[in-house]
């Protein structure tokens, strides 16, 4: 066991201690924090699957430096699905439409917001994503262009439904047609920043040309995420519908306001302004720092989107969520490193071979 794995085991221990303390002192807060932490880490393999599909349907070798990292993240999808088991077993404690005392208020949505149906959809989502990842990673040459294209359509549909199931339905009164797309943008940004960070941490490092290409893709995703997030806010603000405006009002109070500022600056404003500079796009250290900041911003955003949905959540729940992020992250990264090391990685064919 190397030093990195020992540190990840320590992180797992921190998460386990936090979980035990939360279970003894505040079981409901533990579930709330666990959901927020899990949604942050689940975005990585979901986003990685999307990028692997993009590799198979776009020309050029832009994704070659990060393909091994993306493939390793995709292989964690079955385990990530298993990590949702505590949430699926405790739906009435988290979702108002699943609680017997409040379920009658959502009778008009009872067909879709039914516990057994949500469990079934979650199982199907992870089953479909795992099968797509297995098929794409085992068949790198020939015959994968169509699979990648169809898979992207399937991922958009299932990912949007998953966003509604796991997070939006925490507040059934809120509605947004952009919510599913925003969730997919979050997953894509997080997975891309993580993949670039990993390849910049240890040799062989990508060349300066490869770094510039990845930086161009990264700034495009940052802009797309910012556009969708702002347009959702603009539409709701201009509509002036109280039950939808309240979604933002709750998130503009402490401690959530600090998370909003962190997310806006760390995954939006700072990366965009920095990546406009050619010296930053060509620098390994600068790109490494930027990707780390984006991941911190993604963490703040994931907590900001999830925790304010619970009326009783506060600073204690936020601190518990941060401890669980460390613990779940240690476990996920241990699995990721093991799978990336033990499983064979097949690179997609180059554009010349694929389209010959």
**Cα–Cα dist 106/97, whole Å:** 6
Residues 6+ apart with CB under 8 A from 300: 259, 260, 262, 263, 266, 267
How far does the chain reach from its first CA to its final CA, in angstroms? 45
Per-residue model confidence (pLDDT) at position 349:
54
DSSP string, 300-340: HHHHHHHGGGSTT--HHHHHHHHHHHHHHHHHHHHHHHHHH
Q: Does the pLDDT of residue 22 top 80, yes or no?
A: no
Residues belonging to the chain: 356
Binned at pLDDT 50, 70 and 90, residue 126 comes out as: very high
Per-residue model confidence (pLDDT) at position 353:
38
**Cα–Cα dist 143/291, whole Å:** 33
Which of 269, 266, 181 lies closest to 231, judged by CA?
A: 181
3-state secondary structure at position 101: coil
Torsion angles phi and psi, residue 193, rounded to 5:
-60, -40
Four-CA torsion 106, 249, 46, 157, nearest 10 degrees: 50
Mean pLDDT of 83-100: 93
Q: Does the pLDDT of residue 356 top 60, yes or no?
A: no
DSSP string, 226-294: HHHHHHHHHHHHHHT-HHHHHHHHHTTSTTHHHHHHHHHIIIIIHHHHHHTSHHHHT-HHHHHHHHHHH
Q: Does the pLDDT of residue 31 top 80, yes or no?
A: yes
Angle CA(15)–CA(19)–CA(21) in degrees, nearest 5? Answer: 115
CB 313 within 8 A of CB 303: no
**Which of 7-21, 156-170, 329-343 shows the lowest mean pLDDT across its residues?**
7-21
Per-residue model confidence (pLDDT) at position 30:
92
Per-residue model confidence (pLDDT) at position 354:
40
DSSP state of 349: P
**Which of 67-76, 88-97, 133-142, 161-170 shows the lowest mean pLDDT across its residues?**
133-142
Mean pLDDT of 93-117: 87
CB 194 within 8 A of CB 73: yes
**Cα–Cα dist 241/246, whole Å:** 9
How confident is the model over 251-303, as pLDDT tens digits?
Answer: 998 889 999 999 999 999 999 999 998 888 888 999 999 999 999 999 999 99
For tokens 């009658």, the residue is: 104
Per-residue model confidence (pLDDT) at position 42:
97
How confident is the model over 316-355, as pLDDT tens digits?
Answer: 999 999 999 999 999 999 999 988 876 655 555 554 434 3
Tokens of 108: 């008009």
**Which of 115-124, 181-190, 241-250 shows the lowest mean pLDDT across its residues?**
241-250
What's the whole-number average pLDDT of the chain?
88
Which is more confident, 103 or 184?
184
**Cα–Cα dist 69/61, whole Å:** 15
Mean pLDDT of 21-41: 90
pTM above 0.85, yes or no: yes
Q: How far, CA to CA in Å, does 51 sit from each of 221, 230, 341?
A: 12, 24, 20
**Which of 14-18, 278-282, 290-294, 307-311 shows the lowest mean pLDDT across its residues?**
14-18
Per-residue model confidence (pLDDT) at position 146:
80
CB 304 within 8 A of CB 296: no
CB 94 within 8 A of CB 171: no
Torsion angles phi and psi, residue 139, rounded to 5:
-130, 80
């Amino acid at each position: 066991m190397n030093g990195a794995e020992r540190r990840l085991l320590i992180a797992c221990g921190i998460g386990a201690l936090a979980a035990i303390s939360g279970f003894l002192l505040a079981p409901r807060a533990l579930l709330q924090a666990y959901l927020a932490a899990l949604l942050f880490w689940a975005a990585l393999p979901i986003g990685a699957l999307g990028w692997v599909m993009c590799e198979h349907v776009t020309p050029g070798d832009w994704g070659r430096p990060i393909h091994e990292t993306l493939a390793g993240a995709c292989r964690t999808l079955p385990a990530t699905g298993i990590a949702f088991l505590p949430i699926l077993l405790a739906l009435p404690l988290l979702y108002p439409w699943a609680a017997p005392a409040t379920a009658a208020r959502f009778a008009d949505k009872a067909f879709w917001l039914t516990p057994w149906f949500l469990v079934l959809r979650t199982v199907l989502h992870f089953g479909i994503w795992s099968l797509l990842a297995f098929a794409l990673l085992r068949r790198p040459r020939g015959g994968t262009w169509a699979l990648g294209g169809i898979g992207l359509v399937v991922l958009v549909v299932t990912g949007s439904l998953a966003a509604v199931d796991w997070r939006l339905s925490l507040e059934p009164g809120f509605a947004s047609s952009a919510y599913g797309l925003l969730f997919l943008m979050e997953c894509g940004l997080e997975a891309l920043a993580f993949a670039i960070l990993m390849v910049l941490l240890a040799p062989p490092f990508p060349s300066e040309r490869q770094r510039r290409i990845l930086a161009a893709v990264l700034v495009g995703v940052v802009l797309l995420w910012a556009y969708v997030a702002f347009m959702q806010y603009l539409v709701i603000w201009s509509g002036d519908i109280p039950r939808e405006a309240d979604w933002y009002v709750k998130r503009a109070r402490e401690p959530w306001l600090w998370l909003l500022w962190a997310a806006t600056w760390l995954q939006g404003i700072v990366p965009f302004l920095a990546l406009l500079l050619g010296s930053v796009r060509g620098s390994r250290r600068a790109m490494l720092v930027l990707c780390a900041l984006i991941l911190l911003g993604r963490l703040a955003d994931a907590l900001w989107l999830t925790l304010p949905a619970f009326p009783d959540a506060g600073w204690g729940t936020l601190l518990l969520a941060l401890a669980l992020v460390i613990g779940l992250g240690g476990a996920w990264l241990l699995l990721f490193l093991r799978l990336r090391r033990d499983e064979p990685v097949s690179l997609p064919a180059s554009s010349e071979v694929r389209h010959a």
